Structure 1
């Protein structure tokens, strides 16, 4: 399936590719953090340096247990942007989550003519319902995340919240940007880059295989990020910029944003029954 957005005279294609995933396959430009990193230093008296606090944010999420989730994955070409948005919940204790992912229609409006895709995130696997591409509407598609070139950091149209946090375990060159308010919560804003290989080496056994796979899926092993942590060290929001070849000279960029709130919210995730998983052929994406 290809979704095109012709606003502003440009054309952007969001292709369902990578066998069973939602690949955001765009040639993009300018999809990177705005402006240079601030020169603000870590406030005097803070016990842990900025990089260490960012690296530990995944542990704080596991301690929190669960959270409500909002996701956004954006691609850009010139002045045209297309976003895939998701909402749901995630259980950090079991590394499982459920998201409702909405694709834009050809005019760029969310959910216009496209059934939302239900995604279940689980250790080592991504399940999708209403996948399209010849898959019956009542069937699930299952893909092993470690088999994907990007470890499902962008393929599914939403980054697994735990993977997004564990990716920060490779954080380096982190600068403190100051305090801000986010959804009524005071947060500390950090900016830096994270190394995918270092993150994979430090990640939990549940996430490490996917991150290790992602080490070879991008044109660079360094991922710029902006992270926002609350007073408990929990990640409230993280924005990460990925770049991959996509068969084009300048490659493609994808911006993934994950927002977390309502910590401790009960999240019930039931994995699909084996008989409900589609075993047939999946149609190739439209050129």
Structure 2
């Protein structure tokens, strides 16, 4: 099975397509009450903290990041993992993304370098006919998932921006994350609502996602530290693929705030303009 996310004007093969091809059949404490506005009561903080997670990260300026994306369909699961850093002030990040064995018909794969920027995703070592020294550029505003799933990792800032549409937020309790106490919240977020209030760098991509997913409502678990910084967030997406339902669990973990993150975009001559296969 070949899976491609569609762009207006043509199809673009992406990292998640490799894994979906495998998945798709070719192979705490007590909860607090919820307030009338759908937010958590003060026992564990304010639901507004969850909705403002992106703003708080911008104030923190940067961090290191780990990502994982698990795709499941028909009893088969594959996981794509990434690690790197993100400059929240500039809305740019860099990840090394590792595909699972056999997701693209090979035993092992070299990590794919991804540069995340407002409105665009750059991929190096993409394979499938792309020269080793070239980058692939994808306009994320034309992807039907807004790059929440496409690159095999949800852009960390987009993951936080998505929480702007949070509703029914409940405080679950305090838990330990890497030896630090964080507050665990659960709820659902609406992609379309988040897109309408997101900052400009994320608005167009989220608006595209609002139209592309099978469900606009996305369950989430969010973990905030004592400073209100998002330390971990897990989203549960659902989309249709050739008649099958694919469930995607995307997890982003943020740590080492203030770390130096350098993102240098490729020059135009280094961007591949040919056809990209799966």
| TM-score, reference length from structure 2 | 0.87
Of residues 193, 201, 219 in structure 1, which corresponds to 2:196? 201
**Unpaired runs of at least 5, structure 2:** 6-11, 35-39
Q: Tell whether 2:218 aligns with 1:231.
A: no
> What's the CA shift for 1:115?
1.1
Q: Which residue of the partner structure matches residue 8 of structure 2?
A: none
RMSD: 2.2
2:225, 2:42 → 1: CA distance? Answer: 17
Q: Which residue of the partner structure matches residue 21 of structure 1?
A: 14
CA contact 2:146–2:208 (8 Å) conserved in 1: yes
What is the SS of the residue equivalent to 1:68? strand
> What's the CA shift for 1:184?
1.2
* Stretch deviating more after TM superposition (273-282 or 61-70): 273-282
The one-character-per-residue Cα deviations of 1:163-203 (angstroms, maximum 9, x if unpaired) are: 00000000001111000010111100000000001100110
Q: Which residue of the partner structure matches residue 222 of structure 1?
A: 217
Q: How does 1:63-74 map to 2 (within 5 A)?
A: 63-74=59-70
Cα separation, partners in 2 of 1:282 and 1:107, compared to 1, 3 Å: closer
CA contact 1:20–1:141 (8 Å) conserved in 2: no
> What's the CA shift for 1:21?
2.0
1:20, 1:94 → 2: CA distance? Answer: 27
Q: Which residue of the partner structure matches residue 167 of structure 2?
A: 172
Tell me how many residue pairs correspond in the alignment: 258
Q: Tell whether 2:182 aligns with 1:187.
A: yes
1:273, 1:195 → 2: CA distance? Answer: 36
2:41, 2:66 → 1: CA distance? Answer: 33
Q: Which residue of the partner structure matches residue 57 of structure 1?
A: 53
Q: Which residue of the partner structure matches residue 251 of structure 1?
A: 245
Of residues 122, 142, 147 in structure 2, which corresponds to 1:147? 142
Q: Which residue of the partner structure matches residue 33 of structure 1?
A: none
The structure carrying a bigger helix percent of its residues is 2
CA contact 1:27–1:253 (8 Å) conserved in 2: no
* Stretch deviating more after TM superposition (64-73 or 40-49): 40-49
Once superposed, which parts of structure 1, at least 4 consecutive aligned residues long, lie more than 6 Å away? none
**Unpaired runs of at least 5, structure 1:** 1-12, 29-37
Of residues 33, 39, 46 in structure 2, which corresponds to 1:41? 33
2:233, 2:176 → 1: CA distance? Answer: 14
Q: Which residue of the partner structure matches residue 281 of structure 1?
A: 275
CA contact 1:20–1:142 (8 Å) conserved in 2: no
